[in-house]
A and B are shown apart, each in its own frame.
Chain A
Amino acid sequence: MSLLLFCAAAFFWGMSLVRLIAGDVLRGPARWGAGWLAGVFSFSFAAFLWGLAGGRLSPGFVWALCGVSLAGSAFLWHRGRSVESSDERLVQPYTPLEWAGLLGLALFSLAALLTFATMPLTAGDSLVIWAFQGRVIFENGVYPPAELKDTAFLMAHPQYPPLLPMAEALLSFLHGSFDERLVRVIPSFSYFAMLAILWEELPRRNSRLGVLLFLVFALMPSWTIYELGGATAGMADPTVGALVLATVVILGRGRENNGKALRWRKLAPAALAGMLLAFAGLVKNEGLVLGVLVLVGAGVTRKERREVLTLAAVWFLILLPWFLVRGQLNPDFEENYGGLLSVSRIAGNLPRLPEILLEMGKQFLFRPHRAGPFWWIVGVLAVFGTNRQEVWMKSFLWIVPVYFAILAGIYLISPWSDIQQVQVSFDRLLLQVAPLAIRAAAGAAQGMSAPKVAASLSPLEPARG
């Protein structure tokens, strides 16, 4: 019950925040999704700051956080406003294919929730990184705990960003003990938050293909078959993907609505986007790389300089405490890619580049049990869609190939032998940019043929020869 209350408090806080500062641009399920992400990670971020300030993390703190946020939600809800949309989501009647997909998604959601509630974690990374760090914070009640600083303490990646483990610790305080099944709560809800955003966004960008593309994305085997519901070995990839998606959607909607908005409201969506983008960097290190790429994209495509500056400033200010504290944490059990980046190492490892690229290509396009034909669909729309030129830049699709190039560079200098790291991680890392890619792909095919009126769209139309 207390866990449900925590999730509800985070959700209402986030919803109120999003409604207040981006009520013009986010509505319906997209607001629910962004609200969950903003709410739960601002709770976690508040606990992180509280810990850095020397505060004690305890059940009392979490209850206070919930209470204050509920009071704050009521205030913000009163202050916030929601503007009625003039461009309502245009959905055509579902085809049998789409009905089948929706049924499959409902079954998967039910099965996933049941599994999460009853089965323990088995994937290595989720245990030794996320669960472990959350448990250490919970047992110590402080942040950063001494174990994360001790170079001898055996723990994978003590320098991993704090928001997910902190959220796990907060849930554990309410639960009264650490239960590793709690580790799944936040990433699973973040997956559903991502779906909520896409459910509203994709048909809005493409009224004909939107629902179909949504289902293709939601039922990707990587999400459905694996133990953790999408984060095959780690926990954070769907969460990072959701946060980057929310950022890009808010930036895109902000652009559409800027003409109508009041003066301060022009910058408010950028501030919210900056916060969510910073949270991506505080969930996983790759979120920092994606954050920089989104900032570069916004800088290049946005004419409104103040908006870009707001985005960058909020992003940087939220990340600053983490940059400061990270240096105190044990660096010995990290790959330390920065230290490995040297001309001699790159030159020495160049012979393995073709093998790395080949393995990445295989995982990208030929893994029926992971992405299936997902990237083929994105590719067809991105290359042949009528709006392709626009979406490559404005919908940030260029980030996908650039991110792949960066990952190839990391694999090249990695201390892991041969292509081992590509084999165990690339599938998961693709999930971080998949939501962004499907959003752009939907936009690329927008308006390829005019939508028909609903009356003529019965699935029982006569077959055509």
Chain B
Amino acid sequence: MAEYFTVRRGIWTQNLWLLLAGLALLGPLLALGSSGFEGAIHHYFLQYTFLPGYLKSLLVMLHTALVGTGVLCVIFYVVAGARSVNLLAWLGGDLWKEGSTVEKATVALSLLALAGGLGFVGLRLGRDVLRARLYGSLPVQERRAALASGGPLTPYYDAVREMKAQLAGHEGAVALLRPPLEARQPPVPDEYLLLSYELFPVRVYLAAAPGCDEKNISREWFVERRISWMIPDCGISFEPRLVPLEREEVP
């Protein structure tokens, strides 16, 4: 080991990247604070994905972990400098010490990639532990509703639960009534598709109903599909509720 820690001139400069990385982490993180960090993450990274309910605690954990990483970078910089260890040469081995310029560039980028990759693995582990503690005791189906809490699909889980209870022990399929134009506009709204998946094996069919009136749909259409229930969706917002189709209405 002794020969490894050979004193070299310029080692402080060679490891400067680590100090800069540490300061680059610490500066913005301390300036933003935990709540500012959460806002920034939402703004830059999570605008296209729904936010599960446990995310807030996870982001607090992440902020703390990143501040810790920044501090560790500074500590490692000082320790490595004091012991004359070129960290890139130690981490990258022969590739860094004797590789071509392209290989060195690849090692440097790979270091960045693996640091990020390992960080995300850590984040995943934190998330998994947090979730297991919060939802591990719930039945599987309840876990999904809890996991989606705060997401765009959440409002439908309560409705879905009610509908399933309503449909239990009954036969027949469901017709989702919509005005004709909207009924054929791709893509079909996500909430319809989720509802159809959730209610299956009760089949859900889309019915283009002028005036949102089931009387404007042919009787054969109802009979062929054994429709016994309707979900009218003719208001401004989608509020799914089951309406039984009166028996005399079906020939």
Contact = CB atoms under 8 A, between A and B. Distances in A.
Contact of A213 (B4, B110, B200): B110
Interface stretch (A59-67, A120-128, A164-172, A308-316): A120-128
A441 B192 CA distance: 44
A111 B106 contact: no
Interface stretch (A47-55, A97-105, A196-204, A341-349): A97-105
B92 to A, nearest CB: 6
B186 A333 contact: yes
A368 B24 CA distance: 15
Contacts of A456: 94
A95 B93 contact: yes
A96 interface: yes
A385 interface: yes
Contacts of B21: none
Interface residues of A, number: 80
Interface string B188-209: 1010111111001101111100
Interface stretch (B5-13, B26-34, B65-73): B5-13
A136 B200 CA distance: 8
Contact of A92 (B94, B117, B184): B94
A201 to B, nearest CB: 17
A270 B4 CA distance: 51
The winner among B11, B95, B120 for most chain A CB atoms within 10 A is B120
A128 B193 contact: yes
B91 to A, nearest CB: 4
B3 A462 contact: yes
Interface in B153-203: 153, 176, 184, 186-188, 190, 192-197, 200-201, 203
Interface residues on B, range: 35 or more
A101 B114 contact: yes
Contact of B193 (A156, A219, A449): A156
A390 interface: no
Nearest to B131: A119
A152 B1 CA distance: 73
B113 A452 contact: no
B203 A101 contact: no
Interface stretch (A69-77, A234-242, A371-379): A371-379
A219 B118 contact: yes
A380 B100 CA distance: 13
A464 B144 CA distance: 54
Interface in A348-384: 368-369, 372-374, 376-377, 380-381, 384
The winner among B45, B112, B116 for most chain A CB atoms within 10 A is B116
B89 interface: yes
A111 B200 contact: no
B243 interface: no
B136 interface: yes
Contacts of A181: 140
B97 interface: yes
Interface of A: 92-93, 95-97, 100-101, 104, 107-108, 111, 114-115, 118-122, 124, 127-128, 131-132, 135-136, 139, 147, 150, 152-156, 179, 181, 208-209, 212-213, 215-216, 219-221, 224-225, 332-336, 368-369, 372-374, 376-377, 380-381, 384-386, 415-416, 423-424, 445, 448-449, 452, 456-457, 459-465
20 contacts: A95-B91, A97-B93, A101-B117, A119-B131, A120-B144, A122-B52, A124-B153, A128-B190, A132-B193, A132-B197, A139-B201, A154-B193, A219-B120, A220-B117, A373-B113, A380-B102, A380-B109, A381-B106, A449-B99, A464-B8
